[in-house]
Chains A and B, each alone.
Chain A
Amino acid sequence: EILMTQSPATLSVSPGERATLSCRASQSVNSNLAWYQQKPGQAPRLLIYAASTRATGIPARFSGSGSGTEFTLTISSLQSEDFAVYYCQQYNNWWTFGQGTRVEIK
């Protein structure tokens, strides 16, 4: 089983600042990686797939990068609606999710 490790567990950021979230795979997942956003009481929402492709309707301030075992989700200028939990997911070999990074208001 491929393990996905996200860091940090919690990220405190001021509105307008940049947020950088990391996701590491225990073995290569090529570019078969997705990022999701989840707000309290809501279902997750797809942000990024294939490591760097934004899903339909996702603002350009969200960007993904990486391949192999190291991946990054960057939110260039945090808006109030971006404070949420973010999960990465590999789909190269079955599915596994990371444990999530909570982005909170500083």
Chain B
Amino acid sequence: EVQLLESGGGLVQPGGSLRLSCAASGFTFTSYAMSWVRQGPGKGLEWVSEISSGGSTYYADSVKGRFTISRDNSNNALYLQMNSLRAEDTAVYYCAKGPYSLSYVDFWGQGTLVTVSS
């Protein structure tokens, strides 16, 4: 059974940093693209970033230069380093698995809440 478990969310001040983690299990982690998708309070879904199985990275314009996605294939883990955080980054961040790079999401984690506020 595919499981994606996010952690690392919390309250951070504007301009601060936070690192999200996602522990993956139940599938061959190295073979799949992994992504982060966020959802602001009462809002819709917004794709944030993806890392392919080969390590290529992609970012939404709204986070480019501030966020860094990475993966540790030896520990089946996905990360999102978030710097220079803004109030508009407040959201639930979902870890997501896709069948291939830049495709749809076939499994979602339960999400971790990031709140950017002073």
Contact = CB atoms under 8 A, between A and B. Distances in A.
Contacts of B44: 87, 97-100
A43 B102 contact: no
B105 interface: yes
B103 interface: yes
Q: Is the interface of B mostly helix, strand, loop or mixed?
A: loop
Interface in B88-112: 94, 102-111
Contacts of A36: 45, 105
B46 interface: yes
A36 B47 CA distance: 14
B32 interface: no
Contacts of B105: 34, 36, 44, 46, 89
Interface of B: 44-47, 58, 94, 102-111
